[in-house]
Structure 1
């Protein structure tokens, strides 16, 4: 059985997380101590918070008085609700929290059922309970319970350099999967910005957002992680970095940004991308050929479909690089211009058959009136020749931009330029 202990400051947050599971029928309340549980089994989060505060001092020096504990038996251990409650109460007694107010929840949103306990580590006098060697004592207690109740020995999943990173499985333990993905990405890859970090996480259906604000008058700068589907839609409750571990915190990720600057070599990735770009016939071909070279490219688009960001994730060098880091030719603007141009039709598109009309007179006014009346201008000699050579008439794309308008006389234009120069000369003399 694995016990995970989180020490925090937000009692309401811990109660809300577990209460929502219960109220969405993804869990149930198994028991409590000194806390009133509604008869209907629903979680009245506000009332529970008030019950807790009755046993906590109004003023205290302990900044993090909340303990949020999860007990995770081995998947092969089939335990009843009564078994879970007995384990939880005995665990708390041995840990020294048996007389504290607490609530025991069972989570059923994944196949591996487990329990969560919310309690506080200060007594009614405001004195903090003994937390010395808390995690070491917890490990000893779980081992004793495994032996006493003949449970399987469950160990924390260890991550090795060979552990593959996989996409989030919506039917599995979301929190554990997100934590493992974040930990392995941080251990293996180099990145220098939040965009590059998210480009890697997004390959495995995880997203990270910054969270800035004020809590109790103090500035707060943190990270929030999301599990997503293949389309980027959130599929589970967001997870604060503090719930995953220190490795997921903003301090840890900012530190990775700084350390990566000295380790990254853009040359290998730039060589691959440049070679593939020269061979590609279009964006899809570009993406496919890079994939063959173990490089993923992540495009970011505006609502209008324009590329405004691009990141290359090189799995050989374990590096994520925004396009601009490779050079101007690989920036989002350059690739958008290139692929937008390549997406234009290369052949002349068939249009409605041009009906010849009598050639208008040479005056400008008559030409303009003909155009405004909605009739097509007379075809040129080359167009007429083409119209007789087949069943379709073709026009060059964009030809309709050249509408009859005011004529241009180069002699008159040169005369106007000379007059302007003379006027400037006169003004200088005076």
Structure 2
């Protein structure tokens, strides 16, 4: 089970979001917690007023609304009674068991999931602390509930069986198949909070795999100057199609300001994942003696890394972005280091062929010994024996390479004359 908690200052927007889903026939309110009547007898007015009256007890609390989603593995098909029991147990364990709350079952995604709507104002007007609610209470509750109800665990499974909320289950967006806003929203919900990107191009490297793009417009456009953002559906050739939708029109409000805050946090969050991407690239390039750019991309994809090439109108490669679906991290090539940039990767692929004739010139493009050792230390718990053998081979190559030192650091040594010896 995967849990996502969002807080808000508007209970009405959260309530309307779920009720609109009900009206559209893709959701159902299956349970009410701490309401005076049963779910089949409670009206929309009673649902909302229960929250509003409680919030009036503490008007100083600005962020007083909580929207929780409980997400299950696509293979699970729980009864309505079991889902209600899971939601009630979860709310009790995170300290919201006595709060009024609504439980909605949604049917508009590739995996079964619930939405729970509640507030953090107690009956005496005190406020339940929302700070680090996910880490302090939600995570322990999730693990206990997985054991208690026999749910598919969100961690600790074999890699082939590992459950994550991937947009793979959504599939690529196809214009005209379903409503554009809904189609884009499904992709955004799966990508924005899971992948670790630090720029708009890096985010688009993920979104474009599902025929979606975040667009600021040209530099002189009104939307760009106003720091606006729209989302577009792309056709199979990667060209925008249909009417763009403003970021502010989506429920989650994935605006440029929202994304810029994500960029800052993700820059730190993805640091531990750099070593894996670099190691995979180095091992693939070491293993294959002759390799084209496209072949490199194909081999990296087998390791869970998609390679996104950026080319000029003339077809010249000027940028590479790596999307690691295993760690959910996205890196511009140059962010990993100079040897992983577009230019360096082309040279390293080219030197694999030239290396057969030019001997140890290939070592000029190998990573430094120190970086290899640092990466090895960070990845010591996840590397296989085969990986260790390949990395050891790289270290030996670097160690034995007399040409590995950068040219600018090489200085001709002057021979010292020994006493009693002449130049003759």
TM-score by length of 1: 0.47
Q: Which one has the largest radius of gyration?
A: 1
Higher helix share: 2
